[in-house]
Amino acid sequence: MNRILQIDWYSIQYTVDEFSRTLYSFPVHIRFLIGVTVLFLIFIFILLNVILGSRIYKTKLLGKRKKLRERYKPLLTQLLFEDDSLLLDPALENKFDAEDLSKKYHRSIISDEIIHLHENFTGETASRLELLFVKLGLHHDSLEKTKNKRWYIAAKGMRELALMNVKESVVHLAEFLNHKNDILRMEARISIMKLSADEPLSFLSRIKEPLSSWDQANIYGMLNKMPEQMIPDFSTWLNSPNKSVVQFCILMIGAFRQQDSKGVLIHMLDHEDEKVRMAVIKALRELNAYASEEKLINMYPLETEDIQYEIVKTLEAVGKEHSAGLMEKILKQPVKNYSISIQAVKTFLATAESGKQRLDHLLESSNPQLQLIVQHAQDKRL
Amino acid sequence: MGLFFYYFTKFADHFILIYSAMLFGTYLILSAYSALDIINYMRRNSFIDYRDLLTSPSTPPISIIAPAFNESKTIVENARSLLNIHYVNFEVIIVNDGSKDNTLQLMIDAYDLEAAPVAFESKLHCKEIRAVYKSRIPSMSRLTVVDKVNGGKADALNAGINVSKYGIFAAIDVDCILEYESLLKMVKPFMEEVGEEKVIAVGGVVRIANSCEVKDGKIVKVNLPKALIPRIQVLEYIRAFLLGRMAWSRLNGLILISGAFGMFDKKIAIASGGYNHETVGEDMELVIRMRRLMEESKIKYKVVYLPDPLCWTEAPDSLKILGKQRNRWTRGTAETLWIHKKLLFNPKYKFLGMVSMPFWFLFEWLAPIVETTAFLYLVMMAFLGILNVELFITLFILIYSFAILYSTAAILFEELSFHQYKKKRDIFRLLGTAFIEPLLIHPLTVYYAIRGNLDLLTGVKNWGEMKRRGFAPQVKKD
Amino acid sequence: MAIDSFASVMKVLICEDDEMVLKMVEFKLQKEGYEVHLASDGKEALEKVRSVKPDIIITDIMMPYLTGLEIVHQVRKEMGLETPIIIVSSIGLEKTVLEAFQLGADDFITKPFSPNELSVRVKKILMKSA
């Protein structure tokens, strides 16, 4: 044994010596290049090993994941729709293997499946899933995730708690409201919104940074998962110094059809910010705010084309004869913006008394351009 | 003369060394940056639910524009697969660019199309639009087919933009296969825009669909291409997209969004003049022109790239077609750089002028030329019997091992991030490809690039596979 | 709940690409006594409509190959069938809902939905058309 080692050593020593002798016979810059090459080769070797290792690990994990999911699927179905007794503790634990609930990886798969199902269902089924989540102790895992140093894992934990309605976690999540990571901060706000019993959107009063459309879609997505009586009156924040909050609230007033805010919105048509005015005009359309007609007609000439288009479109929903007059005026002028003209025809037909005849009359004295626009406007597919 | 020659060879040796070192250095820095950005991207999107976008009133509508020229084999299926994409509010505009085959008729029959009275404003110049078709089938209301006189890809895209209804458009190759959630993912950067910084364009990774199992226009199973030529391109694409463009995106210096799949802010695309008919590199040219407009009007902006494999395309599987494609790419790059030569090393254009453009000039356009020149130089030296054999061999091995290292790193990124090739065998074959690519295909791609430059100088202009374009005389550029 | 004698003769086709949701709805409706058939994409759904001749179809909108809206169109126009169709979709956009009804859908439920409510609606529609 010892001897073999010695012999090995010797030959290695010899090779190394031989190698360095040859190496040193080269000029310095070539030696440098060889050094770099060796470095590259070492890196290649390391990378190859990482690739293979990762490949073996992932293949194994994927197989395991698939197997476990296959096993849990029928189990969950049964628990959801079978008798209530199954959700009672002793019966519940017997359904799962000891391994299922003791191993973190197994639990994480059960948790993912439950949350995924929960996203699709409401009513009793959803409540059962929430109950099941807590009974299996999966919320402990979610809470632990929120304590993870890696922010994206914390964010995932928060989402899980919010989606599964683990109300008691709200106290814990509050500390993230001042976290330095802005995505995590936003996630915390949204999660707390879902879980808190009173004033779920109070963060809107405090938030300084602008809400992007993405944030807004996320907040709306979560609002959609909340019971209707929890949706607040969004007019509360219409005076916020944060313009994006104002815009968001206007959007929500429209989306949740908060009719009581119509009056306030009509006042806001005077707002100095173009984006806010745009949002207001769209919301008034959703609310069918007939009372806004006069104001919209009056502001039309002074607005940008983008807003003019929205005005004409809203008038289709809220306008009467008066709007028809404006449309007629628009259509008589030479076409400057196709979208506005096309929408003007639609609005004209919706608001004018015997609009069809009047439109035909208008067409008699017009150019082919307008005729095409009128045809376009009347084709429902376009 | 002897002295001159001596200095010349000294200079050439050093130039080759320095250029290689710069190239390696740049590539290594870019890969490191890419790695950071991919990790960041994956983290940011690890916990979110794209389905929230399907219900939200703040999700913007999108127009998909797909030019089609002689696509009769697949057009019906491809149009259907585009209509099936998971999104709320979108339209699909197929622009028949004067196909010589029955592309249009096939669509008319399959989707029960009729000419519709569409009024639109020609904000961008394009060849005459003969008719705009809509389907009589109500569930096909999202489909619009534009029939126009042949004018090339850029022209067809401009026609599509003119007809489109929405504020964001996605330009795609009609034979591309999009993942269902591709629009949801691509629209996210536009929605994340806050404050002053405008998102003007978003690009997506393009992957190679050869040998993948495709059923009714959808990828069912991802396979590594069996044939060598497309397999090598898989490697090239992974390298270019995962190691290159992600870094540029992070540095906000991206100037190329592949014509196969990109999303743009329509207003800004129109304001900058739309697609350029004068170049075969219209995809890159548009991004540069949009960026230029933003720089010149001093508006903060961003061009974003997503590493997700969202778009799959058939890659050339013969050397002949590959050669034509690379020839075209080279001409596109050269033409684009020429059109925007004013930006090169111009501090007024900040990062775009000082880094992005020079990079493309020095390492994308010039690299094959330097490589060829160096090769010719070495051959000459060998001929004269004064080749420094030691240097030549060590340098060759060094460059070869760097190429492998770079490819291996790309494969590692792919393995750790999106993990598309699930079979164990596939990863070995991909690694094997990394070893042969520098020797086998790389010299050819260099050759194609040189040919592209020569063709450009001698005035050859064609689109490769779309060569039968227009009867209108091509405008010569002097 | 005891197996409903009314339900036991009725065939329901569920088209949904989310396997988990598909299984859940299958389980629920089977328990009510329906004969349940499944399809996980649009193509399969149309094949099943032909082969199974269901009494009612429940379909998602966003599915591989064919959308739920196209299924409604094909069933109504191409096959000329009056089979009741319920759409279950996460797209709650007014435009989409209207489009579905115009094409001939009988009911529209937005996701997330309550399986209990779905089963009540299925029963009501079947009673009406019986």
DSSP code per residue over B408-426:
HHHHHHHHHTT----SHHH
A141 versus B12: the higher-pLDDT residue is A141
Q: Which range (A162-166, A214-218, B49-53) has the least confidence?
A: B49-53
Chain centroid to Cα A233, Å, comes to 22
Range of the domain at B350: 1-47+176-478
Q: How many domains does chain B have?
A: 1
**Torsion B1-B7-B10-B13 (CA) sign:** negative
pLDDT at res. A75:
85
* Chain B contact present for C103, CB below 8 A: yes
Interface of A with C in 195-234 (CB under 8 A): 225
Residues B384, B5 contacting (CB under 8 angstroms): no
pLDDT at res. B473:
33
pLDDT at res. A94:
73
Q: Which range (A48-62, A165-179, B448-462) has the least confidence?
A: B448-462
**Structure confidence by residue, pLDDT tens digits, A5-49:** 556 777 878 888 887 887 777 788 788 888 999 999 999 999 999
State the average pLDDT over residues A120-147.
91
CA angle A116, A119, A122 (to 5 degrees): 130
A87 — pLDDT class (breaks 50, 70, 90): low
Q: Which of B39, B42, B52, B199 to mutate to test the interface with A (most CBs of A within 10 A)?
A: B52
Q: Is the pLDDT reported for residue A361 higher than 50?
A: yes
Under DSSP, is residue C130 helix (H, G, I), strand (E, B) or coil?
Answer: coil
Residues B218, B323 contacting (CB under 8 angstroms): no
Q: Which chains touch A (3 or more CB pairs under 8 A)?
A: B, C
Q: Pick the most confident of A8-17, A101-110, A293-302, B48-57.
A: A293-302
* Arithmetic mean of pLDDT over chain A: 89
Q: Which of A82, A119, A125 to mutate to test the interface with C (most CBs of C within 10 A)?
A: A125
B192 — pLDDT class (breaks 50, 70, 90): very high
pLDDT at res. B471:
31
Instruction: With residue A186 as reference, give the H or E element that holds it.
Output: helix A182-195
CA angle A177, A178, A179 (to 5 degrees): 100
**Structure confidence by residue, pLDDT tens digits, B314-335:** 999 999 999 999 999 999 999 9
Chain centroid to Cα A318, Å, comes to 31
pLDDT at res. B175:
87
Question: Which chain C residues touch A255 with a CB distance below 8 Å?
Answer: none
Q: Is the pLDDT reported for residue A2 higher than 80?
A: no
Beta carbons of B139 and C102 less than 8 Å apart = no
A364 — pLDDT class (breaks 50, 70, 90): confident
Rounded Cα gap, residues B36 and B47, in angstroms: 18
pLDDT at res. C94:
81
Q: Is the pLDDT reported for residue B247 higher than 60?
A: yes
Do the domain assignments include residue B22?
yes
**Structure confidence by residue, pLDDT tens digits, B249-281:** 999 999 999 889 999 999 999 999 999 988 899
Rounded Cα gap, residues B220 and C60, in angstroms: 20
Residue of C nearest to B181 (CA): C62
Under DSSP, is residue B219 helix (H, G, I), strand (E, B) or coil?
Answer: strand
DSSP string, B348-417: GGHHIIIIIHHHIIIIIIHHHHHHHHHHHHHHHHHHHT---HHHHHHHHHHHHHHHHHHHHHHHHHHHHT
Chain centroid to Cα B216, Å, comes to 25
Residue from B92, B75, B100, B113 nearest B150 by CA: B100
B475 — pLDDT class (breaks 50, 70, 90): very low
Q: Is the pLDDT reported for residue A229 higher than 80?
A: yes
Q: Is the pLDDT reported for residue C120 higher than 60?
A: yes
Q: Is the pLDDT reported for residue B8 higher than 70?
A: yes
pLDDT at res. A365:
75
**Structure confidence by residue, pLDDT tens digits, B377-391:** 888 888 988 888 888
Beta carbons of A123 and C111 less than 8 Å apart = no
* Arithmetic mean of pLDDT over chain B: 90
Rounded Cα gap, residues A75 and A68, in angstroms: 11
pLDDT at res. B418:
86
**Structure confidence by residue, pLDDT tens digits, B207-227:** 999 999 888 778 889 999 999
For residue B438, cis peptide bond before it (omega within 30 degrees of 0): no
C5 — pLDDT class (breaks 50, 70, 90): low
pLDDT at res. A27:
80
Q: Is the pLDDT reported for residue B465 higher than 50?
A: no
Residue of A nearest to B134 (CA): A381
For residue A300, give both structure tokens.
């039309």
Residue from B164, B294, B316, B337 nearest B225 by CA: B316
Rounded Cα gap, residues A71 and A349, in angstroms: 60
State the average pLDDT over residues B107-128.
94
- Domain extent listing, chain A: 236-319, 321-382
For residue B165, give both structure tokens.
């209804």
Distance (Å) from the alpha carbon of C72 to chain A's nearest alpha carbon: 18
Q: Could you give the strand order of the β-sheet that contains C11-15, starting from the edge strand earlier in sequence?
A: C35-39, C11-15, C56-59, C85-89, C107-110
pLDDT at res. B443:
93
pLDDT at res. A218:
93
Q: Is the pLDDT reported for residue B181 higher than 60?
A: yes
* Chain B contact present for A181, CB below 8 A: no
State the average pLDDT over residues B32-43.
92
Residues C26, C39 contacting (CB under 8 angstroms): no
Partner-chain residue, chosen from A74, A78, A121, that has the shortest CB–CB distance to C112: A121
Interface of A with B in 304-363 (CB under 8 A): 337-338, 341-342
Residues B399, A36 contacting (CB under 8 angstroms): no
Question: Which chain A residues touch C18 with a CB distance below 8 Å?
Answer: 120
Beta carbons of C113 and A77 less than 8 Å apart = no
Q: Cβ-count burial of B13 within 10 angstroms (0-12 exposed, 13-18 middle, 19+ buried)? A: middle
Partner-chain residue, chosen from B51, B84, B141, that has the shortest CB–CB distance to C65: B84
Q: Give how far Cα A269 sits from Cα of A123, A257, A340, B381, Å.
A: 40, 18, 19, 79
Partner-chain residue, chosen from B86, B89, B139, that has the shortest CB–CB distance to C93: B89
Contacts of B109 (CB under 8 A, 6+ apart): none
pLDDT at res. B466:
40
A236-319: CATH number: 1.25.10.10
Rounded Cα gap, residues A10 and A12, in angstroms: 5
State the average pLDDT over residues B20-38.
90
* Chain B contact present for A7, CB below 8 A: no
Residue from B87, B36, B40 nearest B63 by CA: B87
Residue from B446, B240, B256, B245 nearest B336 by CA: B256
pLDDT at res. B51:
86
Question: Which chain C residues touch A163 with a CB distance below 8 Å?
Answer: none
User: Percent of chain A beyond pLDDT 70?
Assistant: 96
Residue from B247, B83, B90 nearest B184 by CA: B90
Residue from A238, A153, A235, A226 nearest A196 by CA: A226
